[in-house]
Amino acid sequence: MSTYLEIKPLTKQAFAPFGDVIEADPGTMRLINGGTTERYHALAEPVVVGAPERLIFSIFRGRPRRFPYTIDMMERHPYGSQSFMPLSGRPFLVAVSADEDGRPGVPQVFLAQAGRGVNYFPNVWHHPLMALGEVSDFLVVDRDNPAANLEEKTFDAPYMIMEPRL
């Protein structure tokens, strides 16, 4: 009998142990370009850990997950952060876990409302990209050479999530 996980709204506070929420936070806004542009400043900081490696921009084109969805594994990137910012303006799902002696704990699942992205701190357990509803593009900033920056663990007992109400 699989455990069904609750899907919670993504908030800065709830996500703080795992990373940053990237959104046009009015508290970060400064007017630039003669007042024609609002700069939402320093929302997150992409970092590389250990040996120097490029930070790069990529676009991930994610196919939507089907539900009920089984979360049977988590991954982490020990040597850098990884951020996902929707280009499609659609919500998506984020699942993260605390580390328990080198393995992911029970996942916490968040619904990232439209216009919000996330930046995972280095070495934070997370599930690979979960797009919702239709093929969705995401701007991703992370460390180059991804194959040398990936640890994956499979759960002995997978978890399930139902389709979120949008």
159: Cβ contacts below 8 Å, ≥ 6 apart: 2, 3, 4, 5, 70, 71, 72, 106, 107
Tell me if 129 sits within 8 A of 146, measured CB to CB: no
Least distance CB 82 / ligand UGC (angstroms): 6
Contact between 151 and ligand UGC by CB under 6 A: the answer reads no
Least distance CB 39 / Ni ion (angstroms): 28
Contact between 129 and ligand UGC by CB under 6 A: the answer reads yes
49: Cβ contacts below 8 Å, ≥ 6 apart: 78, 79, 80, 122, 123
Binding mask 47-86 for ligand UGC (x = CB under 6 A): ----------------------------x------x----
Stretch that binds Ni ion, among 33-41, 42-50, 81-89, 100-108 (CB under 5 A): 81-89
From the list Ni ion, ligand UGC, none, pick the one residue 68 interacts with, judged by a Cβ distance below 5 to 8 Å according to partner type.
Answer: none
Tell me the DSSP string of 53-91: --EEEEEEEEPBPPSSEEEEEEEE-TTB-EEEEESS---
Contact between 87 and ligand UGC by CB under 6 A: the answer reads no
Least distance CB 36 / Ni ion (angstroms): 36
Stretch that binds ligand UGC, among 19-27, 107-115, 122-130, 151-159 (CB under 6 A): 122-130
| Closer residue to ligand UGC in complex, CB, 17/128 | 128
CA–CA separation, 35 and 114 (whole Å):
26
- 99 — alpha (psi -120 to 50), left (phi > 0) or beta? beta
Instruction: Name the residues that contact ligand UGC, by CB under 6 A.
Output: 75, 82, 126, 128-129, 146
Instruction: Name the residues that contact Ni ion, by CB under 5 A.
Output: 82
